Amino acid sequence: MSSPRLRVAVLASGRGSNLQALIAARDAGQLPVDFVLVGSDKAGAGALDLARDAGIPTFTLNPKDFPSRQAYDFELFRRLDASGADMLVLAGFMRIIDGEALKPWVGRMVNIHPSLLPKYRGLHTHRRALEAGDAEHGASVHYVTAELDGGPVIAQARIAIQPGDDEHALAQRLLAHEHQLLPAVLRLVAAQRLALLPPDGVALDGRALAAPLQLRNGELVD
């Protein structure tokens, strides 16, 4: 008898290109999950339109309707709990989440971030990589903890920074790799092959990883 499919909720603030990549992987039979809810802090987020087109329930929660960030985040997670989601994916959700609110989800919550963490936590990662004169740039998928972009890194995709790159060119080239990286990580989660090793480790098939997995030709290797 096969195991139940992983029930996944997604939070996004923008156009939703990483959500689109996840939906495409599911539709192609490459990602055995069910998307149960997509939420956003912005009513006009493109991610919501993508979800509706795919038949996924959506909701918007406006931070301005709440007296504090913590009040907002507790309501956000109440709705996620009610969806029955097993796993939460932050796919361009541009808010810092209260540590107490997310505590029950630690180990069941991942984020994709456009840098080779621990480099360049926060915003403007492409600009910062260029200003630093880095030879390479990339994206990371990590477990979410109360520390901003600071949870254990599961996997990364790397690209070379080319002469003449600007922020836009670098960001656009990296996106194609992000769109492979996030589904690849979620496949391992769905197969129950990944686990968080508190306080700051990651296990694959029960073995602690010495370094993040790396994306090679669409697959993750260590």
Separation between Cα atoms, residue 34 and residue 87, nearest integer Å? 10
**Annotated catalytic residue within 113, 126, 177, 179:** 113
The two three-digit tokens of residue 77, written as one number: 């997670």
- 113 catalytic, yes or no? yes
Partners of 57 in beta bridges: none
Separation between Cα atoms, residue 34 and residue 56, nearest integer Å? 9
- List, in order, residues 6 or more apart from 132 with CB less than 8 Å away: none
Helix 46-53 to helix 17-27 angle, to the nearest 10 degrees? 20
106 near 143, Cβ under 8 Å?
A: yes
Separation between Cα atoms, residue 190 and residue 4, nearest integer Å? 10
Q: What are phi and psi of 205, to 5 degrees?
A: 55, 35
Separation between Cα atoms, residue 206 and residue 192, nearest integer Å? 10
**DSSP letter at 192?**
T
**DSSP letter at 57?**
-
Q: Give the number of other Cβ atoms within 10 Å of residue 103's Cβ.
A: 11
Residues labelled catalytic: 113
